[in-house]
Structure 1
Amino acid sequence: MARRKLSNSQIVCITLLWGILCYMLLTYSKEITGETIFAIVTSGIIVFVPIYKNIKRRGDNKS
């Protein structure tokens, strides 16, 4: 599968959307439980690990 390079604006948009969804999850939930924290942490891993790998790969190609 071909890997796609993300631009800075795409990374910012993905990060902002994730932040908005986390904000909505925290404000609309009746109470903050372990499940809520687990959902935020796992979604953060799913979102930010590919972004980190993309940025790391972008830095390796410049050398």
Structure 2
Amino acid sequence: MARRKITNSQIVCITLLWGVLCYILLAYSKTINFDIIFTLVASAIIVFVPIYKNVKRRNE
């Protein structure tokens, strides 16, 4: 499967969108419990691991 290179502007947009979604999740949740923390950590892993791999491969 061909891999697509992510540009810096795409990385910034993805990061900002992830941040906005995290803010919405935290702003509208009544309490911060394990489910909220787990959701934030899982989403961070899903978003930032592919970005890290892409940047790492680009610098090689």
Q: TM-score, structure 2 length as denominator?
A: 0.99
SS in 1 for 2:4: coil
SS in 2 for 1:32: coil
Supply the AA of the counterpart residue of 2:6. Answer: L
Tell me the alpha carbon deviations over residues 4-37 of structure 1, each in whole angstroms, 9 at most, x when there is no partner.
Answer: 0000000000000000000000000011000000
Structure 2: runs of 5 or more not aligned: none
SS in 2 for 1:31: coil
SS in 2 for 1:3: coil
Supply the AA of the counterpart residue of 1:41. Answer: V
Give the paired residue count.
Answer: 60
Question: Over the residues paired in the alignment, what is the CA RMSD in angstroms?
Answer: 0.3
Identity, % of aligned pairs? 72
**Distance (whole Å) between structure 2 residues aligned to residue 2 and residue 16 of structure 1:** 26
Residue 32 of structure 1 aligns with which residue? 32
Structure 1: runs of 5 or more not aligned: none
Which structure is larger by alpha-carbon Rg, 1 or 2?
A: 1
Q: Does 1:49 align with 2:12?
A: no
Residue 18 of structure 1 aligns with which residue? 18
**Distance (whole Å) between structure 2 residues aligned to residue 47 and residue 2 of structure 1:** 19
Q: TM-score, structure 1 length as denominator?
A: 0.94
Residue 8 of structure 2 aligns with which residue? 8
